[in-house]
Amino acid sequence: MEPFKEHKGIAVPLNRGNVDTDQIIPKQFLKRIERTGFGEFLFFHWRFDDDGNLRDEFVLNQPKYENATILLAGDNFGCGSSREHAPWALEDYGFKVIIAPDFADIFYNNSLKNGILVIKMNEEQVQQWMKKAEQGLTLDVDLEKQEITDTDGTVVSFDIPPYHKEKLLNGWDDIALTLLEEDAIQAFEEKRA
Amino acid sequence: MGKALTAFEKIWNKHVVKEEEGKPALLYIDQHLVHEVTSPQAFEGLRLNGRKVRRPDLTFATMDHNVPTINRENMKDEISIKQMEALKKNCADFGVKLADMYHPDQGIVHVIGPQLGLTQPGKTIVCGDSHTSTHGAFGAFAFGIGTSEVEHVLATQTIWQDKPKTLNVKVIGDLGTGVTAKDLILAIIAKFGVRFGTGYVMEYTGEAIRKLTMEERMTICNMSIEAGARAGLISPDETTVEFLRGREMVPKGEAFDALAEEWLALATDEDAEYDHTVTIHADEIEPQVSWGTNPGMCVPVSAATPVIKDAEYPEEVERALKYMDLNENQPITSIEVDHVFIGSCTNSRLSDLKKASKIVEGKKVKEGIKAIVVPGSFLVKQQAEEIGLDKIFIDAGFEWRNSGCSMCLGMNDDIVPAGGRCASTSNRNFEGRQGNGARTHLVSPEMAAAAAIEGHFVDVRQFVGVPS
């Protein structure tokens, strides 16, 4: 995993609550056995109509958000199915940061495992940024300092569990870390046997 | 005497490999269930890093999400075939036991775990599927994980977990006649919302829960994830023990009795405290029907769809009604369906099929409705056939299929077409869940069966044929 230290990018507002992973990546794309290439299927039925044409009204299809890398989302984002194809699709599409009042917890974990910085931020602030994003908003997210600086220079701090922060900053592989605990795991197994 | 503990806390304490203040705990996993859709990338990760499966003996795989329910021998979908073959090869290469789609133990992963007795009280159970919460019905700590975590568990037999908080969902009183476990869980989610469980293990308690069979308890715990919960749980009792007695993967004789003692001791202590408690009155619950695009959008069958301006989130209600092609304040019983699906990890067990068969016996599915029954496993199908349920369904005009996840998520050919409307015993009514543009109404098996006969939703309690 690439270390995540700081990211500056255009924010796109997806102002809906309870966006489920079936919307983020529909089931017909879960048959692939690879981990890559899911970006083109992101929000598939919201981005494309039944004939495969872009739906102009969907926010991701608006030219001003074409290069957006920060997703502003509603409450309980990523609820439903545990499919990790959802963060794979978001990451492959180009998203580095997702900011929402709250996330579904499997999705939250899955995102962190893929180097996406998921930030829980109070609803008022998210709504304020969503409004600003309609006119164009660039956010500078500094994980080390746990600060987000918006276009006006306003600085907002955010929380993240220290454990997740450390892993993201270093790009650590979870499994390699756990394998350092081999003695403890073995001792546990022996004690129970 | 130590501190009074909840069942969840007892299980948690027995599985901590390592714990440090301010960090997630490293938790040992007793049972890892694997299926074809969320595992290929995990096995590939092991291969790329030269790692092996640490405990193949604690890992069990099946094929369920993607398998056809008819013409299994003549699969056409090349990508699906590739996914099945990948699982077969991965299981062979890494020494994992597999019930492939022709195996007598095949079925929906959350049906076969309990059926085989792999699911037991006190176990930590994970699977790359959010409905792993089902197994909590046995007093296990069971939760869904993503593919990276699947790989992690395969490699280390452990997982890093923040300790969830505890939520007591206290069910007061008894369920009325014709009101099912499905109605209870739908009513709970409708009342408290689709995110009230986030960060919690939800334990269901109260008289009504104690009276439920294991299959009913599984229906309840199954949908805990639809309330956002990390896991659902019901304390083990004699009902749990008797369900597991004699199952293939549980010890026999005295060893079983000793184990049963341990299981019963896991039940939540009388004075245990929860982080939060909510209550619901079972006797006030009617049969439920979902009208919208998340499982919290659900009302009693005697009610109507919401009035937009009166709703807490009018925009959400308006968007959902539009997707569902319903009017506001439209009576639920006026909604006509063209598909009926009886199946899924929520409601595809033998007792579900028995109850639905009672409703349709001697009647005919309304013309123009495509109705299918998909048993949860090979064994459920076989047992149903032994008592003639297949004949009852087929005579009524249902299709009788082979086991799998099927129309719950439509990864195989069992799809509701765009604009189609389905009375479904599954767990999710998300936009496009059963097929792009499809509209899903979540109901109990009895309600689905009655809708198949009448062509629209009816209160099953008034439906001719309900045993009194």
Closest CA to A175 of B203, B209, B393, B147: B147
Mean pLDDT of B34-60: 98
How high is the pLDDT of residue A193?
81
Q: Copy the structure tokens of residue A97.
A: 């940061």
Which helix (H) or strand (E) element contains residue B442?
Answer: strand B439-442
Average pLDDT over residues B272-293: 98
Q: How far apart are CA B297 and CA B306, in angstroms?
A: 9
Chain A partners of B199 at a C-beta cutoff of 8 Å? Answer: 105
Mean pLDDT of A151-168: 95
Predicted confidence band at A90 (pLDDT cuts at 50, 70, 90)?
A: very high
Question: If pLDDT is split at 50, 70 and 90, which confidence band does B73 have?
Answer: confident
Q: What is the mean pLDDT of chain B?
A: 97
Position B52 confidence tier, pLDDT thresholds 50, 70, 90: very high
Q: Give me the residues of A, 33-62, that contact B with CB < 8 A.
A: 33-35, 45, 50
Arithmetic mean of pLDDT, B258-262: 98
Do the Cβ atoms of A185 and B158 come within 8 Å?
yes
For B95, the token pair is 């020494």
Look at residue B130 and tell me whether its pLDDT is greater than 80. Answer: yes
Report pLDDT for B468: 40
Q: What pLDDT score does B465 carry? A: 47
- Angle at alpha carbon of residue B68, lines to B64 and B70, rounded to 5°: 130
| Residue B94 in tokens | 């890494």
Would the pLDDT of B311 be above 90? yes
CA distance A172 to A45: 34
Backbone angles phi, psi at A60, to 5 degrees: -65, -20
Measuring CA to CA, how many Å separate B122 from each of A101, B3, B327? 34, 18, 47
Dump pLDDT digits (tens) for B178-235: 999 999 999 999 999 999 999 999 999 999 999 999 999 999 999 999 999 999 999 9
Closest CA in chain A for residue B418: A50
Contact B39, B147 (CB under 8 A): yes
What confidence score (pLDDT) does residue A166 get? 95
Band of residue B1 on the pLDDT scale cut at 50, 70, 90: low
pLDDT reported for residue B467: 47
> What mean pLDDT comes out for the span B422-449?
98
pLDDT at B127 over 60: yes
A20 contacts in chain B (CB < 8 Å): 294, 428, 430
Separation between Cα atoms, residue B359 and residue B374, nearest integer Å:
17
CA pair distance A165, B467, nearest whole angstrom: 58
Q: What is the mean pLDDT of residues B280-289?
A: 98
Name which of B18, B51, B437 is nearest A181 (Cβ-Cβ): B18
Q: Is the full-model pTM beyond 0.95?
A: yes
B127 a known binding residue?
A: no
The residue-averaged pLDDT of B142-171 equals: 98
| Residue A180, burial from CB neighbour count under 10 angstroms (0-12, 13-18, 19+) | exposed
Q: What is the DSSP letter of B218?
A: H
Residue B304 to residue B334: CA distance in whole angstroms: 9
- Residue B84: what pLDDT? 96
* Percent share of chain B, pLDDT over 90: 96
Residue B128 tokens read as 């790359």
What is the average per-residue pLDDT within B130-149?
A: 98
Please give the average per-residue pLDDT across B96-117, as a whole number: 98
Higher pLDDT: B463 or B299? It is B299
Token digits of residue A140: 């500078």
Q: In a 3-state reduction of DSSP, which class is residue B26?
A: strand
Residue B156 tokens read as 């280390």
Mean pLDDT of A110-117: 97
CA angle A17, B289, B232 (to 5 degrees): 65
Alpha helices in B121-192 (DSSP H): 147-156, 181-192
DSSP string across B402-437 = -SSSGGGTTSSS--PPTT-EEEE-SS---TTTTSTT
Q: Which amino acid is at B211?
A: K
Please tell me the CATH superfamily of domain A6-192, with its number.
Aconitase, domain 4 (3.20.19.10)
What residues of A are in contact with residue B437 (Cβ under 8 Å)?
A: 45, 50
Q: pLDDT confidence of B76, banded at 50, 70, 90?
A: confident
Instruction: Check if B28 contacts A (Cβ < 8 Å).
Output: yes
A30 pLDDT higher than 50: yes
CB contact under 8 A, A82 and B128: yes
Domains of chain B: 1-286 (3.30.499.10), 291-463 (3.30.499.10)
Q: What is the mean pLDDT of chain A?
A: 96
Q: Measured between CA atoms, how close is B175 to chain A, in angstroms? A: 27
Mean pLDDT, residues B229-247 taken together: 98
Q: Residues with Cβ < 8 Å from A92, sequence gap 6 or more? A: A36, A37, A38, A39, A40, A42
- Is residue A1 predicted with pLDDT exceeding 90? no
Per-residue confidence (pLDDT) for residue B74, from 0 to 100: 86
3-state secondary structure B47-62: HHCCCCCCCHHHEEEE
pLDDT in tens, B312-363: 999 999 999 999 999 999 999 999 999 999 999 999 999 999 999 999 999 9
d(CA B329, CA B321): 10
**Which tokens belong to B1?**
């005497």
pLDDT above 90 covers what percent of chain A?
97
Closest Cβ opposite residue A80 in set B82, B158, B428 = B428
Do you know the residue count of chain B? 468
One-letter amino acid identity for B386? E
Instruction: For chain A, say whether B278 makes contact (Cβ under 8 Å).
Output: no
* pLDDT at residue B466 tops 80: no
**Under an 8 A CB cutoff, do B17 and A185 touch?**
yes
| Mean pLDDT, residues B12-35 | 96
> In this predicted structure, what is the pLDDT of residue B464?
53
- What percentage of residues in chain B have a pLDDT greater than 70? 99
Q: Predicted ipTM?
A: 0.96
Q: What is the per-residue pLDDT for A119?
A: 98
Q: Is A185 on the interface with B (CB under 8 A)?
A: yes
Structure token digits, residue A86: 């959802």
DSSP string, B300-328: ETTSBPPPGGGSSSHHHHHHHHHHHT--T
